[in-house]
Chains A and B, each alone.
Chain A
Amino acid sequence: MTADQLAAVAGRPGHARGADRARPARRQTSVATRQHRAFYMFTAPWIAGFLLLTIGPMAFALWLSLTTFDGISPNWHWIGLANYRELLSDSVTWGALGRTGLFAVTSVPLSIVAGLALAVLVNRPIKARGIFRTLLYLPAVVPPVGAGLIFKQLFDTNSGATNGVLDIFGINAVAWLSDPYARYVLLMTVLWGAGNVMIISLAGLQDIPRELHEAARVDGASAWRTFRSVTVPLLSPVLLFQAVTGVIASVQTVMPLLLASQPPPGGVTSVPQSNYLYMMHVFAEYFAYGRFGYASALLWVLFVLILIVTGLIFKTTSGVVFYNVDPEAKK
């Protein structure tokens, strides 16, 4: 094919065949443009919101973390990485971080196991299954404020129902909302909301093809073996999802801590030491101490830590999580 012929096929102006081909090409571009425009138009509010309400504040917090800004005092100034250096040597921060880590590694597995156990139970063909599912899920629907207040009343040393029950058995009252018991009450609040995990696990369980369980049964596998070798592997993406979101949520726990604490004038830092988790420390630095710079540095460190932990979870579980993907769909 000569250069002229190639040019003709490509649609040089004036050439009849080229002009014929140009028309459908323009129509195609027009459709694609409309699609692009629609896409960008519909996503623009979210992108604008993301920039305005997420990236903007994060960048502002990063800038704040390099200053001594407290919102009111006149002599605040730029201090570079001093807040981050202080953070590294702050025993209160490390203590809070350690307690938060402990809380995450305790509460997340506990709530996943409890939620999965409940899901397995209510997945069985029992009577009034819907009612049980609803009842078990209800606590997750109760607003955190309501739940916090309920727990505070239940576990109050002097008037709480829990100590009332202990009193019936002649056991002396326990100061549940103080150290060292407060941490157990906090764990109970987490388990109380396990209905949330249950619902997601239940959806995962119902997605497992029944034939696989039947095949295992035909092969003589016990119920436990079937659960271990069929159910859990097929549920592993769901469990991974719960682990990741659970860890992120647990390190950001603040509401139950605030609700179980004394209100002002006791203030935000009147939470028992055992429940003085990282976010509580951040909260105190912002709102009690007014150290916007230092608190912002704490938040940025937490953000990076969450990224690292999430990455580690993905990396360490890659060999044990099985995705039920249609091989044809990949093509």
Chain B
Amino acid sequence: MRSHAGAPPSRRRFLALSAGGAVAGAAALSGCALQVAGAADSGGGGDSITVMVNEGDITDDQIKQAQKELGIRIIRVKYDVTRLIAMLTAGRPPELVRGVGATDAPYFAARGVAENLDPYFAKSTVLEVDDLDPVNDLWRWDGKAQGKGPRYGMAKDFSQDSMYWYNTALFDQKSVAYPSATEPITYEEWLEKAEQLTQRKGGQTRVFGGSYNGVGLTVNLAALTAAAGGNLFTDDYATIDFSSPEARKALTWYVDYAKTGVGPSLINPNPDTWDGPTYMANRMAMSNSGYWLGGMINGDEKVAKVSRLAPAPRFAGGPRISACQAGTGFWMPKKAHNKQAAWRVFEWFFGQGPAKDRATGGWGIPTLRSLRPLMPRQKDYQKQVVAVQEAELKHFSVVSFTPYAKVEALDAVINLIIPAAMRGQMSIGTLIDRLNDKTNEEMKRGKELVS
């Protein structure tokens, strides 16, 4: 049947037209998307690049500054891994993407989506390899392990996240001795102190004795295992072994920490959602947030005056290590379209104006050695913090992470299983067996997708 002018369109023809319209609409929408991302190819007003970050990573002022100093327009899109995947799949990724070096670097490098930045570093006069702090090794991946091989990104600032802040006023209230500024206490001692410092009333915790959650559960457990002298992962990073004596020690300690209720955990969540506000409200005596929290602490002189930074604890008989659990920074997707402009912004962000601003604010240790003198040390309490931090840098170590699973996936598995053990409803032995089963199932699936 042929339709003709003037006749009402049949339902079939109408649906066909609608489908055509939908396709045209989709094309128009993708055209819009192309226009946004395509702006990175320069649109008459100089270069522009798309940067996928959280709002605080690059401020509006910095975007204006970049336009003025570099002549590059930065289009900021909110970091969202689903959106990133969509953009990567469509072949129009952002030019720079926020990432957590400790966990994201091996994941993206192993999948071949991240650009090898070695040739860029080799030519740069702003970011010289000799000037890079060892923390940037978190962004290296040699195809097997983290810490060696080509560079796939760079950290914007960092902390040694097993170090902890403590509030001397809350220590004084409970007559608990301050920890040493030079010699680390043991994890067992840390837990004892936390119990002594915890203030409770009617079953409610008014002051947490200490928080020891780190940047995330898996990466925290990996760091704790390393502190016990082992590795949470097997040599090829293809499996996890919670049953090794070191991992067992780490896990048992963390479960005990949760059981005592001295700090926030999965069974005792913090309504503030992270340590910062609780610590600032004098409701947390110790927090293993590392130097990075200093940016917040420096903002309130009352709290800053009673705050001290202490070295990362060690397990009795274990090695002294002090890892960075995050090393948040940027990486460049291999399929990025405007790589030269992206690298120029990369250099500026990590080595020029914004990097200097971050260093002076106390929000993390600068990732260029040459910027370290900018760390705040005018006041007495700042001098103490910088002295402890500088001494701790000697013990920095990279705790490698697996490329075969997203850290969120491993966190998810542990989150589902561990609460029962924290409530005393599951033995450590059963917990280990279940964690090994489920995490390795996840790792196996990941390995199949990569290799």
**Cβ–Cβ < 8 Å partners of B107 in chain A:** 72
B22 neighbours in A (Cβ, 8 Å): 48, 51-52, 56
Contact of A288 among B201, B269, B409 (CB under 8 A): B409
A266, B415: Cβ atoms closer than 8 Å: yes
> Judging by beta carbons under 8 Å apart, are B204 and A167 in contact?
yes
Is B26 a contact of A288 with CB atoms below 8 Å?
no
B119 within 8 A of A: no
Encode B266-296 as 1/0 by CB contact (under 8 A) with A. 1111110110000000000000000000000
Cα-based distance from A29 to B6 in the complex (angstroms)? 9
**B449→A175 contact, CB < 8 A:** no
CB of A290 within 8 Å of the partner chain: yes
Flag whether B442 is at the interface (Cβ < 8 A).
Answer: yes
Q: Mark A165-184, 1 if CB is under 8 A from B, else 0.
A: 01100111111011100000
In the complex, which residues 135-180 of chain A have their Cβ closer than 8 Å to any Cβ of chain B?
152-153, 156-160, 163-164, 166-167, 170-175, 177-179
Cβ–Cβ contact B416 & A269, under 8 A = yes
On whether the beta carbons of B269 and A262 are closer than 8 Å, the reply is: yes
CA distance A175 to B273 in the complex (A): 16
Q: Which residues of B contact A288 (CB under 8 A)?
A: 406, 408-409, 411-412
Q: Which residue of B lies closest to A47 (CB)?
A: B18
Chain A residue at minimal CB-CB distance from B208? A158
Instruction: Determine if A270 and B26 form an interchain contact, defined as CB atoms under 8 angstroms apart.
Output: no
Provide the residues of chain B in CB contact with A71, threshold 8 Å. 82, 85-86, 88-89
Instruction: List chain B residues, Cβ under 8 A from A179.
Output: 267, 419, 423
In the assembled complex, which residues on chain A have CB atoms less than 8 Å from the CB atom of B266?
Answer: 178, 262, 266, 270
Within 8 A of A (CB), among B374-424: 406, 408-409, 411-413, 415-416, 419-420, 423
Q: Out of A32, A167, A263, A270, which one reaches B202, CB within 8 Å?
A: A167
With both chains docked as a complex, state the minimum distance between the C-beta of A57 and any C-beta of chain B, in angstroms: 11
CB under 8 Å from chain B, chain A span 53-91: 56, 68, 70-76
With a cutoff of 8 Å between Cβ atoms, the chain B residues found around residue A264 in the complex are 216, 408
Q: Which residues of A contact B213 (CB under 8 A)?
A: 265
Asked if B415 and A157 make an inter-chain contact with CB atoms under 8 angstroms apart, the answer reads no
Chain B: minimal CB distance from A176 (Å): 10
Interface membership of A132, Cβ < 8 A: no
B95 to nearest A CB, angstroms? 18
Cβ-defined contact, B412 with A269, below 8 A: yes
On chain B, the number of residues with a Cβ less than 8 Å from chain A's Cβ atoms is: 60
Which of chain A's residues has its CB closest to B406's CB?
A290
CA distance A272 to B450 in the complex (A): 32
Which residues of A are found within 8 Å of B148, using beta-carbon distances?
A: none
Is the pair A289, B442 in contact by a Cβ cutoff of 8 Å? yes
Q: How many residues of A contact B (CB 8 A)?
A: 62
A53 to chain B, nearest CB (A): 9
B-side contacts of A72, CB under 8 Å: 85, 88, 107-108, 111, 113
Q: Assess A156 versus B416: contact at CB under 8 Å? Given A36-B9, A74-B450, A75-B451.
A: no
- With contacts A167-B204, A175-B268, A262-B273 taken as known, whether A267 is within 8 angstroms of B408 at the C-beta atoms is yes
The residue from A30, A47, A74, A153 contacting B271, defined by CB atoms under 8 A apart: A153
A265-B213, A270-B415 known; 11 other A-B pairs, CB under 8 Å? A72-B85, A73-B449, A158-B205, A159-B204, A160-B271, A163-B202, A172-B202, A265-B216, A266-B411, A288-B406, A290-B406
Report the 8 A-B pairs with minimum CB-CB distance, sorted nearest first. A71-B85, A172-B203, A265-B216, A173-B203, A73-B449, A36-B8, A269-B412, A288-B412
Subset of 15 A-B contacts with CB under 8 Å: A71-B89, A72-B107, A72-B113, A73-B446, A75-B450, A158-B206, A171-B202, A172-B202, A178-B269, A262-B266, A263-B273, A267-B216, A267-B412, A269-B412, A290-B408
